[in-house]
Amino acid sequence: MSVVLACAWQPRGEMQRFERYFSRLQTIYDNIVVAVQAGEPGTPETVALLDKFGVPHRPYANWSGRHTTVKLALETGADYIHYVDMDRLVRWIELRPDELAQIVERLQTVDSLIIGRTPAAYATHSRTLVETEALPNAFFSHYLGRKMDFSAGSRSLSRQAAELVLRCSPGENALVMDAGWAVLVHRAGLAWDYVEVEGLDWETADRYRDAAADSVIQRALAVQHDADPKQWDWRVRVVAQGITMLGLAAIQEDLDGFK
């Protein structure tokens, strides 16, 4: 069975580290595809780097990156797709490559593996993330019958599961389909599982650095974010509410023959 890595990439200084660890990724995955956010300052250089490595890529706008890259991943013919936000992926492959490889083995046993954060990994994040993700995590954990973290930026999809989420969820809002994709897979009767990892600790502090941030740098940025009303406003209005509303919409979505 083959596994393709699918990433959405909003460039924030990860190019050097991606290039450094690209060979590691090649030992884990059969193929790699990337959706690159259009119009970002680092996009031309990012596209040039992907071309250098022969990585298939497509542009995306707004919140459609996850949808775009999953669609591109299906075109490779792979049996399984492992989606990871690019900034999280680079930290994961840099610090915990063995754990990442183990997850790639495990994801081939189900139609969708929801990948969350261990308590230690979650604790590295700002309270603006932890507190605002609490409600959607609690509600959809109750709905699915298992306590889970839905918003860690990574999950897997079999071909059937990928076709399902592409057909039955809005591509333009893919960024906040964290719970929605899980709901669709569950409602369609496909096999799913859940696992928590250390490698999805907070990646935001890594931006524009030549190596992954340590815990001191993470904590300093978390304090800064937690003191900023704009960060809370963004998380409450856009992220938490979006995840909740689109997850609820997925509960009522017509599965169009999948169920």
Domain chopping of the chain, boundaries: 3-252
CB 99 within 8 A of CB 121: no
pLDDT band at 83 (very low <50, low <70, confident <90, very high): very high
Helix axes 15-28, 86-95, angle to 10 degrees: 70
pLDDT at 173 over 70: yes
> Which CATH code fits 3-252?
3.90.550.10
3-state secondary structure of 49: helix
The 10s digit of each residue's pLDDT in 2-38 is: 999 999 999 999 999 999 999 999 999 999 999 999 9
Q: Where on the phi/psi map is residue 126: left (φ > 0), alpha (ψ -120 to 50), or beta?
A: beta
Cα separations (Å) of 18 from 37, 59, 110, 156, 215?
A: 16, 18, 28, 21, 21
- Tell me what pLDDT residue 259 has: 60
pLDDT of residue 71: 98
Q: Are 155 and 112 in contact (CB under 8 A)?
A: yes
Cβ neighbours for 46, distance < 8 A, ≥ 6 positions apart: 9, 11, 15, 36, 40
C-beta atoms surrounding 233 within 10 Å: 11
Report the relative pairing of strands 154-158 and 80-84 from DSSP bridges: antiparallel
Round to whole Å and give the CA distance between 214 and 148: 26
User: Which amino acid type is present at position 162?
Assistant: A
Q: Which of 168, 180, 204 is nearest to 90 (CA)?
A: 204
> What CA–CA distance (Å, rounded) separates 76 from 215?
38
pTM recorded for the entire structure? 0.97
CA distances 246 to 232, 233, 252, Å, are 20, 19, 10
pLDDT tens by residue, 185-222? 999 999 999 999 999 999 999 999 999 999 999 999 99
Burial bucket for residue 60 (CB in 10 Å: 0-12, 13-18, 19+): buried
Distance CA 213, CA 149 (A): 23
Percentage of the residues of the chain whose pLDDT score is greater than 90:
95
Q: For 44-60, what is each residue's pLDDT tens digit?
A: 999 999 999 999 999 99
